[in-house]
């Protein structure tokens, strides 16, 4: 429901005064209101869940998975070394929306949340009620984070908006949607989970099975795309066309956070792309299984990678249609449009998907493409950036002071400068307590062309890996043993940052 704040009311009264005292000023205001010209540009953030930059043709991937993203890139700032704050939805989403690293916001566990005392530190509140703030977290887990900021959101679209079914029980309790989804959909009635309420869960599953059997999966040979573990099915074309119809109706200026579930597993490409890349001759680099991986065979990983690439191609086609509709509606002329992800996906070293302690590039190197209002040319940025940079960037562009608690910096090309001396971090700590020291964690630090990975709590001793990302982008040659002096310097910086963030939790 749209809310009118006291601040907005006073702004409106201030705008009416010129009608009486300054007729010419009122004439100018009336003209701009009729033309729909906002005082500030809109901001639209598309988060495509589990989309790795390493599998996108716009970043040089051999398979042409994303021709429409390539087309969008020709009118955007393209960030080539952008990293997520975490390696799965909870920490990745929280870092993007709070401008802080997981070791600060503490949304680190499965189904975790942002530390209660830090909930007001979010991008919706930072931009303020100058903007109409819209949120659509299609991924249920992203909803756990986004719904924490409900007080700062004007329009909240439930996860099953644009879906083919409506079976999420938590949506019937909008006053505390987060708690309701956790108690009902994520606990009592979770699909595939152990029975909690035997009779009720059996009845719900029977009803769900009947509903899904009636769904029309035409055009999707492997079945309709759906949100894993939840009764939420959708069609890519309806999801993206629904957003295309929604955005032009928003009051300007608006801020829209649109967290879409695809291309997250299960990978369900449309019929057009169901056989893509089957005989294209592409052979991924064969990398040895990591000691902390699931040790899956390369053949299993290759099949999963191909399905993932097919699903990305399906999504990309619908994204292209969405962009065409937005351009036709004139939205691109007065909006920042952001394409990014909360984390990537991995098909190497014996590991599949992203439920892993590993922080190699396929899982944390995510896309970031930002088209500024009316932008017509491409601008490439190669210095490392991080998800925590989005909040300070758009605060600055909106003319709002950058909060002191933000751990990011404005992005190069959008008010910031390229800084190769800056260190950025990705943190994985799902097996540690959010209320205590991070005894079991993986931290990746990117600084300049180098990346240091730190493992603690998995084995008897702490271990490190060091890679030269310019000369070894596949991370095959661990330099940590051979460059002791340089490695020692980076190690000192990483550990100092890690221990400083963890200090208040260590008694």
Q: pLDDT band for position 209 (50/70/90)?
A: low
What's residue 316's pLDDT? 98
What's residue 246's pLDDT? 97
- pLDDT tens figures, 346-366: 999 999 999 999 999 999 999
Residue 497, φ and ψ in degrees, nearest 5: -65, -45
Q: What percent of the chain has pLDDT over 70?
A: 86
Q: How far is CA 203 from CA 44, 197, 214, in A?
A: 40, 10, 17
- pLDDT tens figures, 438-497: 999 999 999 999 999 999 999 989 999 999 999 999 999 999 999 999 999 999 999 999
- pLDDT tens figures, 150-188: 999 999 999 999 999 877 777 777 777 777 777 667 666
Task: With H, G, I as helix, E, B as strand and everything else as coil, classify residue 234.
Answer: coil
What's residue 181's pLDDT? 73
pLDDT at residue 18 above 60?
no
Cβ–Cβ < 8 Å for 407, 385:
no
Average pLDDT over residues 279-288: 93
- pLDDT tens figures, 234-249: 999 999 999 999 999 9
- pLDDT tens figures, 456-467: 999 989 999 999
pLDDT at residue 198 above 70?
no
What's residue 210's pLDDT? 59
Cβ–Cβ < 8 Å for 454, 495:
yes
Report the candidate in 315, 296, 313, 310 with the shortest Cα–Cα distance to residue 353. Answer: 296
CA separation for the pair 274, 268 (Å, rounded)? 8
Average pLDDT over residues 76-86: 98
Tell me how far apart the terminal alpha carbons of the chain are, to the nearest angstrom: 45
With b for 16 or more beta-carbon neighbours within 10 A and e for fewer, the 388-403 pattern comes to bbbbbbbbbbbebebb
CA separation for the pair 43, 335 (Å, rounded)? 6
What's residue 11's pLDDT? 36
Q: In this predicted model, which residue has the larger pLDDT, 205 or 334?
A: 334
What's residue 3's pLDDT? 43
For the chain, list the domains and their CATH numbers: 1-33 (no CATH), 42-162+236-417 (3.40.720.10)
pLDDT at residue 9 above 70?
no
What's residue 22's pLDDT? 29
What's residue 188's pLDDT? 63
Average pLDDT over residues 11-27: 33
What's residue 32's pLDDT? 39
Q: In this predicted model, which residue has the larger pLDDT, 379 or 176?
A: 379
Q: What torsion do the CA atoms of 21, 27, 28, 31 make, to the nearest 10 degrees?
A: 150
Q: Is the peptide bond before 277 cis (omega within 30 degrees of 0)?
A: no
Average pLDDT over residues 408-424: 95
The residue behind tokens 């997981």 is 102
Helix ranges (H only) for 37-189 are: 67-73, 89-98, 102-105, 123-127, 140-146, 177-180
Bridge partner residues of 155 (DSSP):
134
DSSP string for 312-329: HHHHHHHHHHHHHHHHHT
Average pLDDT over residues 256-264: 98
Neighbouring CB atoms inside 10 A of 205's CB total 15
pLDDT at residue 193 above 90?
no
Q: pLDDT band for position 208 (50/70/90)?
A: low
Q: DSSP E strands: which ranges in 240-388?
A: 254-260, 335-340, 346-348, 351-353, 368-371, 379-381, 385-386
Q: pLDDT band for position 5 (50/70/90)?
A: very low
Q: pLDDT band for position 24 (50/70/90)?
A: very low
Q: How far is CA 110 from CA 39, 88, 92, 184, 434, in A?
A: 40, 9, 12, 16, 11
Average pLDDT over residues 380-391: 97
What's residue 15's pLDDT? 35
Q: What percent of the chain has pLDDT over 90?
A: 79
Cβ–Cβ < 8 Å for 291, 335:
no
Summary mean pLDDT of the chain: 89
- pLDDT tens figures, 222-236: 999 999 888 899 999
């Amino acid at each position: 429901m749209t809310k009118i704040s006291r601040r907005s009311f006073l702004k409106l009264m201030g705008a009416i005064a010129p009608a009486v005292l300054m007729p010419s000023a009122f004439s100018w205001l009336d003209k701009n209101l009729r033309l729909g010209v906002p005082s500030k540009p809109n901001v639209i953030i598309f988060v495509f869940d589990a989309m790795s930059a390493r599998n996108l043709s716009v970043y040089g991937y051999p398979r042409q998975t994303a021709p429409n993203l390539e087309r969008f890139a020709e009118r955007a700032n393209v960030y080539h070394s952008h990293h997520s704050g975490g390696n799965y939805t909870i920490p990745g989403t929280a870092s993007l929306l709070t401008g802080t690293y997981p070791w600060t916001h503490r949304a680190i566990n499965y189904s975790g949340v942002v530390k209660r005392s830090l909930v007001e530190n979010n991008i919706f509140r930072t931009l303020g009620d100058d903007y109409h703030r819209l949120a659509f977290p299609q991924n249920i887990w992203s909803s756990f984070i986004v719904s924490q900021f409900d007080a700062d959101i004007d329009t909240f679209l439930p996860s099953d908006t644009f879906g083919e079914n409506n079976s999420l029980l938590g949506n019937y309790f909008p006053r505390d949607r987060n708690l309701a989804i956790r108690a009902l959909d994520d606990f009592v009635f979770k699909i595939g989970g152990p029975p909690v309420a035997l009779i009720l869960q059996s009845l719900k599953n029977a009803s769900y099975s009947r509903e899904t059997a009636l769904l029309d999966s035409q055009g999707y040979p492997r079945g309709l795309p759906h949100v894993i573990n939840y009764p939420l099915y959708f069609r890519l074309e309806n999801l993206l066309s629904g957003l295309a119809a929604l955005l032009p109706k928003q009051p300007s200026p608006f801020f829209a956070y649109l967290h879409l579930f695809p291309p997250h597993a299960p990978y369900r490409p449309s019929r057009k792309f169901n056989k893509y890349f089957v005989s294209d001759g592409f052979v991924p680099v064969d990398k040895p299984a990591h000691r902390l991986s699931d040790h899956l065979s390369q053949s299993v990983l290759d099949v999963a990678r191909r399905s993932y690439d097919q699903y990305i191609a399906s999504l990309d086609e619908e994204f292209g249609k969405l962009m065409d509709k937005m351009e036709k509606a004139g939205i691109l002329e007065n909006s920042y449009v952001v394409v990014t992800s909360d984390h990537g996906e991995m098909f190497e070293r014996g590991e599949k998907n992203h439920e892993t302690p590993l922080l190699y590039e396929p899982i944390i190197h995510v896309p970031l493409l930002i088209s500024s209002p009316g932008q017509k040319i491409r601008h490439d940025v190669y210095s490392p950036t991080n998800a925590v940079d989005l909040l300070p960037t758009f605060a600055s562009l909106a003319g709002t002071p950058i909060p002191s608690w933000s751990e990011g910096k404005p992005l190069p090309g959008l008010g910031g400068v390229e800084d190769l001396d800056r260190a950025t971090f990705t943190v994985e700590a799902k097996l540690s307590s959010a209320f205590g020291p991070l005894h079991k964690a993986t931290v990746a630090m990117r600084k300049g062309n180098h990346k240091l990975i730190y493992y603690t709590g998995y084995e008897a001793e702490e271990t490190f890996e060091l890679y030269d990302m310019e000369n070894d982008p596949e991370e095959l040659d661990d330099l940590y043993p051979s460059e002791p002096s340089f490695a020692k310097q980076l190690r000192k910086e990483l550990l100092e940052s890690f221990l400083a963030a963890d200090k208040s939790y260590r008694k």
